[in-house]
């Protein structure tokens, strides 16, 4: 299936590893011109080389870096048709353990950064009559988990803002959707089951297996389960899909709708 992405210009935030990289790879394989962003310049350069993309280093949690990332992407691509927002999640922990400054950092990193990038690229998308915004959030937006209030709270705020935006620009050729990963076997999840292994005095393999057993498909998600879905939402075949929260979780979330 031709997704109609050849020559489209994509900026993928947090695209140097994990799920962001899976999205960048899928877009590049469909012929899109891709710029990936990551905090570590060496890692970003290496990841970009693997998929034939360009790269720009920068931390999306700061306004100054966001401006630099956008400027570099525009210089390389000449404009942005596709924006994939993504940033590492805030720390887990009991609700009462997170002080005011931790909440502010999470809001800046996981909510306002995506909003700022989207605001910056929208005028060009509207002028061209084509745009795709895909935000990587979390399955906990649909099914909140204990000790995940910080991450869920800020991502739920982003979800609300993007739901409103999707309706504002629906008649302008711009779609806005969210991808909600479940338990995906990335570096971030490895840290989780490594911590569980230590707390439960079991091996990491056992902790990983136990985690997988909680999923109806009986396995953790992989990068190849995620990236192609992102590419599809950016494609011409997804013209009539907007304002949606697509959960990629192997059946983990039990919500009816």
- 66 inside domain: yes
- In tens, the pLDDT along 48-90 reads 999 999 999 999 999 999 999 999 999 999 999 999 999 988 8
Residues 229 and 159 in one domain: yes
> Is-contact 134 75, C-beta < 8 A?
no
- 43 inside domain: yes
pTM comes to 0.95
Nearest to 5 by CA among 36, 23, 21, 28: 28
Q: What's the alpha-carbon Rg for the chain, to the nearest Å?
A: 18
Residues 191 and 205 in one domain: yes
Strand 9-12 relative to strand 33-38: parallel, antiparallel, unpaired? parallel
Residues of the domain holding 80: 9-184+223-248
pLDDT-derived band at 195, boundaries 50, 70, 90: confident
HEC string of 35-64 equals EEEECCHHHHHHHHHHHCCEEEECCCCCHH
DSSP 8-state symbol, 87? -
Looking at every residue in the chain, the average pLDDT score rounds to 95
List, in sequence order, every beta strand (DSSP E) within the chain: 9-12, 33-38, 54-57, 82-85, 131-136, 174-181, 245-248
202 Cβ neighbours under 8 A, 6+ residues apart: 196, 210
Give me the residues paired with residue 78 across strands.
none
Q: Has residue 191 got a pLDDT over 80?
A: no
pLDDT-derived band at 196, boundaries 50, 70, 90: confident
Compute φ and ψ for 35, nearest 5 degrees.
-115, 125
Dist. CA 184–CA 144, nearest whole Å: 17
If you average pLDDT over residues 176-182, what whole number do you get? Answer: 97
Write down the pLDDT at residue 142.
95
Residues 128 and 57 in one domain: yes
User: Dihedral of CA 170/80/227/44: which sign?
Assistant: negative
Compute φ and ψ for 57, nearest 5 degrees.
-85, 150
pLDDT-derived band at 101, boundaries 50, 70, 90: very high
Residues 120 and 208 in one domain: no
Write down the pLDDT at residue 90.
87
Residues 229 and 211 in one domain: no
Look at the chain and report how many structural domains it folds into: 2
Residues 89 and 198 in one domain: no
Q: What is the CATH number of the domain that holds 40?
A: 3.40.50.720
- 137 inside domain: yes
Q: Has residue 36 got a pLDDT over 90?
A: yes
């Amino acid at each position: 299936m031709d997704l109609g992405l050849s020559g489209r210009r994509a900026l993928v935030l947090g695209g140097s590893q994990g799920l962001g990289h899976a999205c960048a790879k899928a877009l590049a394989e469909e012929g899109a011109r891709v710029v990936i962003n990551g905090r570590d310049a060496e890692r970003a350069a290496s990841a970009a080389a693997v998929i034939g993309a360009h790269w720009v280093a920068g931390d999306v949690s700061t306004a100054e870096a966001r401006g630099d990332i956008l400027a570099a992407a525009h210089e390389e691509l000449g404009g942005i048709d596709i924006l994939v927002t993504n940033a590492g999640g805030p720390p887990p922990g009991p609700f009462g353990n997170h002080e005011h400054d931790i909440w502010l950092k999470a809001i800046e990193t996981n909510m306002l950064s995506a909003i700022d990038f989207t605001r910056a690229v929208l005028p060009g998308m509207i002028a061209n009559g084509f745009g795709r915004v895909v935000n990587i959030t979390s399955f906990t937006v649909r099914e909140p988990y204990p000790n995940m209030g910080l991450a869920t709270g800020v991502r739920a705020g982003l979800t609300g803002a993007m739901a409103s935006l999707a309706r504002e620009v629906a008649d302008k050729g711009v779609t806005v959707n969210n991808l909600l990963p479940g338990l995906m076997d990335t570096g971030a999840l490895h840290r989780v089951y490594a911590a569980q292994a230590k707390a439960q005095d079991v091996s990491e393999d056992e902790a990983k297996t136990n985690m997988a057993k909680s999923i109806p498909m009986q396995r953790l998600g992989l990068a190849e389960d995620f990236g192609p879905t992102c590419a599809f939402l950016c494609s011409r075949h997804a013209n009539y899909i907007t304002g949606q929260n697509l959960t990629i979780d192997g059946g983990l979330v039990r919500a009816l709708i």
